[in-house]
Structure 1
Amino acid sequence: MSLGARTDPLLAGLPALVRVPHHRRHGALALPPGAALLASCDRHPVVAYRVGGSAWGLLFPLGAPGRADGVPARFAALVAERAERTATRTFFTPRADAWERRFASDAPVYAAAVARMGLRPGRRALDVGCGTGRALPALRAQVGAQGVVLGVDLTAAMLTTAAREGRRAHAGLLLADAGRLPLPSGAVDGVFSAGLVDHVPDPAAALGEWARVTAPGGVLLLFHPSGRAERAARHGRSLDPGDLLAEANLWPALRAAGWLPDHHEDAPHHFLARAIRPGP
Structure 2
Amino acid sequence: MSDDHTNVQAFFTARAADWDTRFPDDGPAYAAAVAETGLREGDRVLDAGCGTGRALSALRAAVGPSGVVVGVDLTPAMLDAAVRAGRDGQGHLLLADVAALPLRPASLDVVFGAGLVSHLARPAENLRELARVVRPGGTLALFHPIGRAALARRQGRQITPGDLRAEANLGPLLATAGWTLTSYADEDDRFLALAVRER
Give the helix-richer structure, 1 or 2: 2
1:255 aligns with 2:179: no
Instruction: Give the residue type in structure 2 aligned to 1:179.
Output: A
Q: CA deviation at 1:222?
A: 0.2
Q: 1:245 aligns with which of 159, 162, 165?
A: 165
Q: Number of aligned pairs? A: 199
The whole-number CA distance in structure 1 between the counterparts of 2:9 and 2:153 is 27
The whole-number CA distance in structure 2 between the counterparts of 1:200 and 1:153 is 12
Q: 1:165 aligns with which of 66, 74, 85?
A: 85
1:193 aligns with 2:113: yes
Q: 1:234 aligns with which of 154, 171, 176?
A: 154
Partner SS state of residue 17, structure 2: helix
Q: CA deviation at 1:236?
A: 3.1
Work out which structure has the larger RCO, using CA pairs closer than 8 Å and 6 or more positions apart in sequence: 2
1:174 aligns with 2:121: no
Q: Say which one has the larger Rg.
A: 1
Task: Report the counterpart of residue 265 of structure 1 in structure 2.
Answer: 185
Q: 1:103 aligns with which of 23, 30, 44?
A: 23
Partner SS state of residue 207, structure 1: helix
Structure-2-length-normalised TM-score: 0.96
Question: For the Cα contact (< 8 Å) 2:8–2:119, is it kept in 1?
Answer: no
Instruction: Give the RMSD, CA atoms, in angstroms.
Output: 1.2
Task: Report the counterpart of residue 82 of structure 1 in structure 2.
Answer: 2
Question: For the Cα contact (< 8 Å) 2:42–2:63, is it kept in 1?
Answer: yes
Q: CA deviation at 1:251?
A: 0.5
Q: CA deviation at 1:87?
A: 2.1
Deviations 1:213-256 (A, max 9, x none): 10111100000111111122233333211111111111011111
The whole-number CA distance in structure 1 between the counterparts of 2:133 and 2:177 is 12
Partner SS state of residue 223, structure 1: strand
Give the fraction of aligned pairs with identical amino acids, expressed as a percent.
Answer: 56
Instruction: Give the residue type in structure 1 aligned to 2:154.
Output: R
Question: For the Cα contact (< 8 Å) 1:197–1:206, is it kept in 2?
Answer: no
Q: CA deviation at 1:204?
A: 0.8
Structure-1-length-normalised TM-score: 0.69
Instruction: Give the residue type in structure 2 aligned to 1:118.
Output: G
Instruction: Give the residue type in structure 1 aligned to 2:107.
Output: A
Partner SS state of residue 174, structure 1: strand
